[in-house]
Chains A and B, each alone.
Chain A
Amino acid sequence: MRRARTIDWVPHAVLLIGIAIIAFPVYVTVVASTLTTPEIVYGPMSLLPGPHGPENYVQALSEGNAKTSGVGVGRMLLNTLVVALAIAVGKIAISIISAYAVVFFNFPGRMAFFWLIFLTLMLPVEVRIVPTYAVVAGLGLVDTYAGLAVPLIASATATLLFRQFFLTIPDEMVEAAKVDGAGPMRFFKDVVLPLSRTNIAALFVILFIYGWNQYLWPLLVTNDAEMTTIVIGIRRMLGNGDAQTEWSIVMATTVLALLPPVAIVILMQRWFVKGLVETEK
């Protein structure tokens, strides 16, 4: 492929430029997290890492900064991790089961239920935030993990995706399993779940990041500083004009906040890339 070689560099150049545009701010953040605040704020900031990384990270992790009431980023990361995992696992569990019911069982009002689930698509948390808050507060769930996660679990997006996928499982396979003697539970465990692996992995990544990035709802439902999530923590660290923002700590926190989602993507990628390559069914 001689001709291809001569123009090979064009797509490469485009990709490199794209990567540079996306990567540069991340790089600046990482560098800034190794400098002191004055070094960042006054004069042109160095583009090479400085020696203050370790102390910035230790401070961020253990005590945050003046505006986080002494709650360290470690605690915030833990809070966010629990909530994001609960949301991802909860949503997948609920939606895969409801999609299974809607696709493989014939019961009265099946379509009505499906449309009810579908309707929740139009009601994201932001829309129903006031009544939802009233319910959560009434149940005494303010400042709890349950209060943070449960209202975000209830939604239909994943149900819809699983339903679309289940509809592509051939009827004959369902019938073969019936003849083989697999009841609904066996069929779910032995056939549906393994075939949904790829979908589950992809959804897990999307939902984990969705949970990780929640802002409005955690802002409303947590008052206790101990229950702060990472996104809110970063927001709090930024000054309101009355005090100077400790940029080095903010930058270290930002880098820490990036790590878990990145780890999840890397961990899960093996699964869904595999799934995309081997088309099963």
Chain B
Amino acid sequence: MADVRLRNVRKSYGDTEVIHGVDCEIADGEFVVVVGPSGCGKSTLLRMVAGLEEITKGEIAIGGRVVNDIEPKDRDIAMVFQNYALYPHMSVFDNMAYGLKIRGVPRSEIEARVEKAANILQLKPLLERKPRQLSGGQRQRVAMGRAIVRDPQVFLFDEPLSNLDAKLRVQMRVEIKRLQQDLGTTSIYVTHDQVEAMTLADRLVVMNAGVAEQVGPPIEVYERPETVFVAGFIGSPAMNFLPAIATENGLSVGEARFRAAQRLEPGRNVTVGVRPEHLELDPASPTLRVRAELVEALGADTIVHGTLAGAPLLARLPGTQRVVAGDEVPLRCAPEHLHVFDGATGKRI
């Protein structure tokens, strides 16, 4: 077991810098999920930890040992790849045993360790098969098994579930979480799926364009996003952003008036964020009225699409509320659920 420390880690390809200085301390046994849109540098960051990509600047330490100049094989890490990357000509057993064989682990111990991992992952009946004789989910398990048998200090996952269908993804997600809790191995997990990120993570690293915009427990990231980007990226449907101007006693968004939790200097341009699930129907004392342009009844929820002050506005109402397109919908939002960001920088105020 080990902690992982990233200090001002940067990566450049030629003249273009793609990671602009990431700092992060990952405690021993912690499950950290790196999440962000495609191309933001998640894989690059993970591959630098793995040693598959050179670290241009900064420092990465695993278990207190700086690993910048250490080969992947000597970093005591195991990685699970998106495309599984199993050896096609080797049986499931050999795939899992290969790393141990190279390290000169005695045959009897290899067998014991592979058997143990196969039991955990329910791969026992498949040990003699070749990867091509397995389903996607089974291959994924073998890839995990290959990581487990090594008993490394850190697990690295690069979008391990993105090639599976939706149902299997949910199932494997639960399995990964349980496995990590049982083994207690420090893990870094990369994904662009925010549900995976929210459910798996002890702590989230939300990345955008090579910068770690926010690091924190998932609920904290959801409740107190530090930037407009994080606020929009975490949560589904995404947060509504409305252009607003601060007034003496609150915020004005077009015709609508909001009470704000904090005082702002009047006249300041800000962006107000409201999550669709925090808008409630309130015919008695609505803070805003919106014409329902489109209504999606999902059963449990009803999503109402409208426009406020020129910006699109979504409200997620309980499915019991009957709303029809064309209705004027009176809505209310509690002041504590308003997120106020600086209009220019997008930073939380």
Spell out A's residues near B (CB within 8 Å).
170, 172-173, 175-182, 186, 190-191, 194-195, 278-281
Contact = CB atoms under 8 A, between A and B. Distances in A.
Contact of B85 (A172, A195, A279): A172
B73 A180 contact: yes
B52 A178 contact: yes
Contacts, number: 64
Contact of A191 (B78, B83, B87): B87
Contacts of A177: 87
Contacts of B99: 179-181
B132 A178 contact: no
Nearest to B158: A172
Interface of B: 50-52, 71-73, 77-79, 81-89, 98-99, 102-103, 130, 132, 146, 150
A186 B87 CA distance: 13
Given A178-B72, A279-B132, A281-B88, 5 more contacts: A170-B85, A176-B85, A179-B52, A182-B102, A278-B132
A195 B79 contact: no
14 contacts: A173-B87, A176-B87, A177-B87, A178-B71, A178-B73, A180-B73, A180-B99, A180-B146, A186-B102, A190-B87, A191-B89, A278-B132, A280-B88, A281-B88
B88 A179 contact: no
Contact of A194 (B50, B89, B102): B89
Nearest to B156: A179
A194 B207 CA distance: 40
Nearest to B89: A194
A3 B334 CA distance: 74
Contacts of A179: 50, 52, 72-73, 77-79, 99
A181 B73 contact: yes
Contact of A175 (B79, B87, B102): B79
Sort A-B residue pairs by CB-CB distance and give the 8 closest, nearest first. A181-B73, A180-B99, A172-B85, A176-B85, A280-B88, A181-B102, A172-B81, A194-B89
A38 to B, nearest CB: 59
A191 B95 CA distance: 11
A280 B99 CA distance: 21
Contacts of A194: 89
A281 B146 CA distance: 18
Contacts of B81: 172, 175-176
A175 B77 CA distance: 12
A178 B79 CA distance: 10
B171 to A, nearest CB: 23
A281 B87 CA distance: 8
A162 to B, nearest CB: 17
Contacts of B52: 175, 178-179
B42 to A, nearest CB: 15
Contacts of B51: 178
A281 B139 CA distance: 13
Contacts of B86: 173, 176
A181 B81 CA distance: 16
Contact of A190 (B71, B72, B82, B98): B98
Nearest to A173: B85
A194 B88 CA distance: 10
Contacts of B85: 170, 172-173, 175-176
A194 to B, nearest CB: 5
A54 B132 CA distance: 52
A191 B78 CA distance: 19
Nearest to A176: B85
Nearest to B87: A191
A278 B131 CA distance: 12
Nearest to A281: B88
Contacts of B84: 172
A224 B172 CA distance: 73
A178 B50 CA distance: 10
B74 to A, nearest CB: 8
